[in-house]
């Protein structure tokens, strides 16, 4: 693992610190530093040279720093500054005090300077520097290891924790950054694969549910067209027949048709309410398909004759049929008048206008009619959920077209902008 180099370097720094300390201590001892601070061999040589040449200072051996005083304490000679020049000073400094004899009598005293304190102080300073530098090095190594742990363990773990929280909340769109340079590298990759698979699974589940609801919504909506035709025929039969029994049967048909219509509406509304996206797959068709679609939508034949220019259009035939069904059904329900259909080519579109001559809607209500569950004030006493124009607008947009609503002086018109192929 990557932590091994840090541990090895830390151990090496510690060993180096001990080794340098031992070398310094050994050097201090090799330099003759002891309790007295004086090399006994050199001290004996100095004593011998002074005794042999007493009074002849030029011949004194000066291997050590010292002072020479007589028995009365008077300074006779010194070879360096800072040496003790009295017995009291020598005792305080821990100097070596040796007698200089002349024959059988003591002629003077040799005060050899004790340099162990200075040497020890210098060694201590050097040792302090070595320990300080090595300690700082160890601290830096430990700090580096801490930063390494933070970058390779703590921060990735925090990212994983945050990622897990997002996944638990249902946010599957933000991927997890994958860095194979730390110990969680392969683990984070597995986490992100899990997120991706969960997202695919949810999308597939949602698509399947929407498709089921869409089928139910389509069937329930499409049922209303033949039901409306049955109701219209039964109402005509009710008015034309003179037999009471036949009228009663036609009345029963009307009642049952109304029940089926209500059930179909409930099924349609409950299904379409949860669908977030309806599948629209446009293809190229001749404009004759538009003519057929309009005639199928106008099952009461209120539009009379109309002409669609020859062209190629880009439509989903099923969805365009639903769109025209919605508009004609609204006209039957709210206007109940003749319907005028006209068409012309306009730029990149085939424009089809469907107009009736009822009361229409207020000008300020026009922008709202294409919204979900929005209805005009003239629909207050009519059945409906306000989804017809919303779905029509949705279908046309998915076919690269658009829907335009217009209020006329007498009536209401809907313009279908159908994209040319």
Report helix angle 288-297 to 317-330, nearest 10. 40
CB-CB neighbours of 174 under 10 Å: 11
pLDDT of 420 higher than 90? yes
When pLDDT is averaged across residues 112-138 and rounded to a whole number, the result is 75
- What does the pLDDT look like over 295-318, one tens digit per residue? 988 988 899 899 999 999 999 998
Q: Which residue has the higher pLDDT, 412 or 125?
A: 412
- What does the pLDDT look like over 242-274, one tens digit per residue? 788 888 888 888 888 777 877 777 666 666 655
How many secondary structure helices (H) and strands (E) does the chain include? 10, 10
Instruction: Output the CA–CA distances (angstroms, integers) from residue 49 to 65, 74, 84, 111, 260, in the order listed.
Output: 14, 20, 20, 15, 139
pLDDT of 231 higher than 70? yes
CB-CB neighbours of 152 under 10 Å: 19
Task: Give the contacts of 313 (CB within 8 A, at least 6 positions apart).
Answer: 284, 285, 286, 287, 289, 290, 350, 418, 419, 420, 421
What is the reported pLDDT for 384? 58
Rounded CA separation 18/170 (Å): 58
Domain limits, CATH 3.30.565.10, in the chain:
280-419
Task: Give the contacts of 46 (CB within 8 A, at least 6 positions apart).
Answer: 60, 61, 62, 63, 64, 66, 110, 112
Task: Give the contacts of 388 (CB within 8 A, at least 6 positions apart).
Answer: 326, 327, 329, 330
**pLDDT bracket for residue 239 (50, 70, 90):** confident
Would you list the DSSP string of 268-318?
HHHHHTT-S------EEEETHHHHHHHHHH-TT--S------S-EEEE-HH
User: φ, ψ for residue 118 (rounded to 5)?
Assistant: -65, -45
What is the reported pLDDT for 1? 45
pLDDT of 8 higher than 90? no
Task: Please give the CATH architecture assigned to the domain spanning 280-419.
Answer: 2-Layer Sandwich (3.30)
**pLDDT bracket for residue 347 (50, 70, 90):** very high
Residue 314's beta-bridge partner residues? 284
CB 21 within 8 A of CB 132: no
Q: What is the DSSP letter of 420?
A: B
Specify the 3-state DSSP secondary structure of 62.
Answer: coil
For 341, how many CA atoms within 13 A lie in the half-sphere containing its CB? Answer: 24
When pLDDT is averaged across residues 37-49 and rounded to a whole number, the result is 82
Among 319, 324, 322, smallest CA distance to 291 is for 324
Rounded CA separation 391/386 (Å): 9
CB 267 within 8 A of CB 216: yes
The listed range with the strongest mean pLDDT (218-222, 323-327, 413-417) is 413-417
109: left (phi over 0), alpha (psi -120 to 50) or beta: beta
């Amino acid at each position: 693992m990557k932590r091994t180099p840090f541990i090895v370097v830390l151990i090496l720094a510690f060993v180096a610190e001990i080794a340098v300390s031992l070398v310094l201590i050994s050097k201090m001892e090799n330099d003759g530093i002891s309790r007295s601070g004086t090399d006994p061999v050199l001290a004996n040589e100095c004593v011998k040279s002074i005794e042999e040449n007493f009074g002849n200072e030029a011949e004194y051996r000066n291997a050590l720093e010292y002072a020479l005083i007589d028995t009365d304490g008077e300074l006779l000679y010194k070879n360096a500054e800072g040496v003790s020049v009295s017995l009291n000073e020598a005792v305080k400094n821990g100097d070596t005090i040796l007698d200089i004899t002349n024959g059988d009598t003591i002629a003077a005293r040799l005060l050899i300077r004790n340099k162990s304190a200075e040497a020890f102080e210098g060694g201590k300073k050097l040792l302090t520097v070595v320990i300080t530098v090595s300690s700082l090095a160890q601290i830096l190594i430990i700090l580096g290891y801490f930063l390494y742990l933070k970058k390779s363990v703590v921060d990735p773990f925090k990212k994983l924790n945050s990622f897990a929280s997002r996944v638990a909340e249902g946010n599957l769109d933000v991927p997890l950054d994958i860095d194979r340079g730390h110990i969680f590298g392969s683990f984070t990759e597995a986490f992100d694969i899990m997120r991706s698979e969960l997202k695919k699974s949810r999308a597939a589940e949602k698509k399947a549910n929407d498709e089921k609801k869409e089928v139910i919504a389509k069937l329930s909506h499409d049922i209303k067209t033949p039901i409306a035709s049955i109701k219209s025929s039964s109402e005509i039969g009710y008015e034309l027949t003179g037999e009471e029994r036949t009228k009663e049967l036609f009345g029963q048909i009307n009642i049952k048709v109304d029940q089926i219509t209500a059930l179909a509406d409930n099924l349609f509304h409950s299904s379409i309410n949860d669908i977030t996206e309806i599948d629209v797959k446009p293809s190229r068709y001749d404009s004759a398909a538009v003519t057929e679609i309009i005639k199928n939508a106008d099952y009461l034949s209120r539009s009379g004759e109309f002409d669609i220019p020859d062209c190629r259009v880009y439509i989903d035939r099923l969805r365009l049929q639903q769109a025209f069904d919605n508009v004609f059904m609204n006209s039957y329900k709210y206007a109940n008048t003749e319907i005028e259909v006209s068409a012309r080519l306009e730029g990149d579109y085939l424009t089809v206008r469907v107009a009736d001559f009822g009361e229409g809607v207020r000008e300020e209500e026009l922008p709202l009619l294409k919204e979900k569950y929005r209805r005009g004030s003239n629909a207050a006493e009519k059945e409906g959920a306000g989804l017809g124009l919303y779905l029509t607008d949705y279908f046309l947009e998915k076919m690269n077209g658009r829907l335009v609503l217009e209020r006329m002086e007498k009536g209401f018109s809907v313009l279908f902008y159908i994209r040319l192929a």
